Every structure is written in structure tokens, then in C-alpha cells.
Amino acid sequence: FFYQSALKQLELQMNIIKEEFKIMYNYDLIDHIDTRIKEPKSIVKKMEKKKYKKTYYNLIEKINDIAGMRIVCTLKDDIFFIKDLVKQIPDIHILNEKDYVTNPKPSGYSSYHMIVEVPVKLSQKTIYVKCEIQIRTLAMDFWASFEHKVKYKTEQEVNKKTSKELVNCAKMISKFDDKMISLKNIQ
């Protein structure tokens, strides 16, 4: 309930920003927004992988991505603009940021990650709930979805050749994203 409430709050705010840019600036800053609550079995699996004791305290304190939001935009520059907009939302606390856009993971993965605390106003008090925000371009999102299916949603082990090809594709996507920015700047 708490995580779902926090996501609703965050999604409402991001949809307001999305519509504002569409109506007031005639620009589709945000292509789409996806949200999800991590499945209990995935939470347990993550706790086991990280060797955390399976306690309610560890769940709340150490697992930061139970509630997740993915904001997908068109251009790489928009990622950093959206990140700055998130930082301006009143009462949202930024706990952590990881810039995998400027510094992609060795696998080729590229996205901007933020761990935030979102206020959830209950009848008796306000609590802050952690959510993970991922901001990426359409091209990055396509690559990440494909890579996830190939590496994690199959029983087969991915060989080194396939992993290398995925990294090469990620580099091509980064060049493509950079080219899109230069085309926009020509106008």
C-alpha cells in the first residue's frame, strides 16, 4: 500500500510535467512512464543475493527499488533536464543518483537512476517511501528491454560473443542518441 501510494504520487507529478511541456511548450519531453511494484519473490531473491537477513527492517532500509518508475524520453539531453525537474519537486528527497548515461555499465547498460523518498500523507502522519526512478531514451529503453530478455528471462547462459555484441549494440545506440541531439540542434 505504501509503495503503491508513493508511486501514484510520483506518477501524478511526472504526468503533470509531461502535459505541461506538451501544452505550454509544444514539446514531448516525456514519451511515456512505466511503474511497477517488485514481486515479493524478486524481493526475497535480491535479499538472498545481497546476503541480507530477511527482516522487515532490511526490506525497508536496504531494498531501494521495491517501487520503480521508468521515465522514457526522446533525447539524451532530456534525461538530465528531467533529472533536474525531479530535484525541484517539493518534498521529494533525493537519496542517491547513479549516472549510467555518462558512464555506462560494462554490459553497455545506460540509464540515469535516482533513489528518492516520496511523502505519503496518511490520516495520522506523513511517511516517506523510497522509490527508484530510471530515466532513459527510447533507444536505451529498447536495448535494456532486449538485453534483460536475453540475459535474465531465459534458462540459457549468454555466451561471451553475445555479450560482446550486446555491448557493441549499446555503443551504436549511444552514437544514435548523440546523432539525434545534433539533428535537433540543426533546426
pLDDT of residue 9: 95
Average pLDDT over residues 113-142: 96
In the chain, count of helices (H) and strands (E)? 6, 5
Most confident of 135-139, 159-163, 169-173: 135-139
Distance between CA 170 and CA 176 in Å, rounded? 10
pLDDT of residue 156: 67
Average pLDDT over residues 83-104: 96
Cell numbers 514481486: residue: 39
Asked if the model's pLDDT at residue 155 lies above 70, the reply is no
- Which 3 state secondary structure label does DSSP give 175? helix
Short-list 149, 84, 139, 87, CA closest to 111: 139
Distance between CA 82 and CA 48 in Å, rounded? 34
Q: CA dist 95 to 57, 129, 132, 150, Å?
A: 18, 11, 10, 31
Distance between CA 48 and CA 71 in Å, rounded? 28
Cell numbers 550486446: residue: 166
Asked if the model's pLDDT at residue 148 lies above 90, the reply is no
Q: Environment class of residue 142 by beta-carbon count within 10 Å: exposed (0-12), middle (13-18) or buried (19+)?
A: middle
32-37 and 67-73 beta bridge pairing: antiparallel
Of the chain, the percentage scoring pLDDT greater than 70 comes to 97
Q: Which residue has the higher pLDDT, 58 or 69?
A: 69
Average pLDDT over residues 156-163: 80
Asked if the model's pLDDT at residue 149 lies above 90, the reply is no
Q: Which residue has the higher pLDDT, 86 or 59?
A: 86
Distance between CA 129 and CA 64 in Å, rounded? 9
Lowest mean per-residue pLDDT among 30-34, 143-147, 155-159: 155-159
How would residue 162 be classed by pLDDT, with cut points 50, 70 and 90?
confident
Q: What is the CA radius of gyration of the chain?
A: 18
